[in-house]
Amino acid sequence: MLSLPALAASTQQEQTSSNGLQAGGLEADHSADCMRCHQMATLAYRDRETGKVVNLSIQPESYTHSSHRALACGDCHHRSYQSYPHRLGRAEEALSCVGCHREQAKARQEVSAMEAINDEYQRSVHAALEVEEFSCFSCHNAHSFRPEPTDAPPAQRVAANNGLCLDCHSEQRGEIPVGHDWLPRPRDHWRAVRCVDCHSPVNGPERVSHRVLSGADSARHCIDCHTKDSRLLNQLYSWRSEQALTEQGFFKQALYNDAYIVGMSRNDQLDRFSLGVLALVLLGILAHGTGRWLSYRKRNK
């Protein structure tokens, strides 16, 4: 078997790059050894139990733009990967997103959001699935995962989030999505809102809840979204008004606001300003008419 001594070394030992900084990520020695094979687009194997083809290819460009780009391969894959072929599978390695983030938070003396996410997931319909190895990795590819920034355009965030759901729920891609026959114009809805906006409790704009609800417990009523103070849409769109107000000023924000509910500004100040202008116009017309009438009476006396 081919020995890979670089993988056996401690993950704390990293190669020093030419600029004097500690090289991590795919620049580390043992990462380069791994990527000799894993950057091949055709690298895969067929699982003996399920018969499915498991993709083992890692795209360097995607990884270097991911949230984990600073991690070398050996930082996560450090058990029984010293030789080729690798004999232990992912399940035996027991990788844990929660455990890793817990240790990071402890080192920074912070509270990891992963604790809350894990608690939500344990009460999710996904946790109740009779599927082995269903975990964070079932939805989030650790080699390319990068959450959409909160200041990204809503359409971009919607497409990215819904793509995660549709990767598994492919039956929802049809003309009549399964279980959504009650929803008018589902395609238009799915371009404007995320699946999780209806299929999870409202968590606020900072983070979507990972407690995915059953179909029966999910939002189904029009008024859940189509009201000015909708809690569902606020977790996706509320940041936009604040951002636009800061960057563009009040009038541009009000003029170009493109919130989901067409025809509603969702801005109480603009509503009051518009009513004030309308009232002044009506008072002007009334004053003008009254003046003309008084002038007419005076000339005819």
Domain boundaries of the chain, sorted by first residue: 1-89, 96-146, 148-266
Instruction: Say whether the peptide bond before residue 85 is cis (omega within 30 degrees of 0).
Output: yes
* pLDDT confidence of residue 89: 55
Q: Please check whether residue 125 is in contact with residue 213, taking contact to mean a CB–CB distance below 8 angstroms.
A: yes
* pLDDT confidence of residue 86: 72
Q: Is the pTM of this model over 0.85?
A: no
CA dihedral 249, 255, 261, 262 (to 10 degrees): -170
Per-residue pLDDT of the chain (301 residues; tens, 9 = 90+): 333 333 333 333 333 433 333 446 888 878 888 898 899 999 988 878 778 888 889 999 999 999 999 999 888 887 666 667 676 555 456 678 888 888 888 888 887 888 889 999 999 998 887 666 678 888 899 999 998 887 788 788 889 989 999 988 888 887 778 888 888 888 888 888 889 888 998 876 667 889 999 888 998 888 777 776 677 666 666 555 555 555 555 555 554 454 444 334 455 666 678 788 999 999 999 999 999 988 888 887 7
* pLDDT confidence of residue 237: 65
Q: Determine the Cα–Cα distance for residues 76 and 97; give it in Å rounded to an integer.
A: 10
* pLDDT confidence of residue 78: 72
* pLDDT confidence of residue 113: 84
* pLDDT confidence of residue 258: 46
The DSSP result for the chain, as a single string, is -EE-HHHHS-TT---B-TTSSBP-GGGSHHHHHHHHHHT-TT-EEE-TTT-PEEE----HHHHHTSTTTTS-HHHH--SS-SEES--S-HHHHT--HHHHHHHHHHHTT---HHHHHHHHHHTSTTTTS--TT-SGGGT--TTT--PPPTTS-HHHHHHHHHHHHHHH-GGGGSSS-TT-TTSSSHHHHHHHS-HHHHHS----SS---S-PPPGGGS---GGGTSSTT-HHHHHHHHHHHHHHHHHH-HHHHHHH---SSTT----HHHHHHHHHHHHHHHHHHHHHHHHHHHHHHHHT-
Which contacts qualify for 218-223: CB closer than 8 Å, 24 or more apart?
220/182
Cα 271 to chain centroid, rounded = 32
* pLDDT confidence of residue 204: 66
Nearest to 227 by CA among 270, 259, 184, 251: 259
Amino acid identity of 144? S
HSE-CB of 175 using CA atoms within 13 angstroms: 0
* pLDDT confidence of residue 20: 35
Q: Determine the Cα–Cα distance for residues 31 and 6; give it in Å rounded to an integer.
A: 9
Q: Determine the Cα–Cα distance for residues 99 and 110; give it in Å rounded to an integer.
A: 14
* pLDDT confidence of residue 225: 77
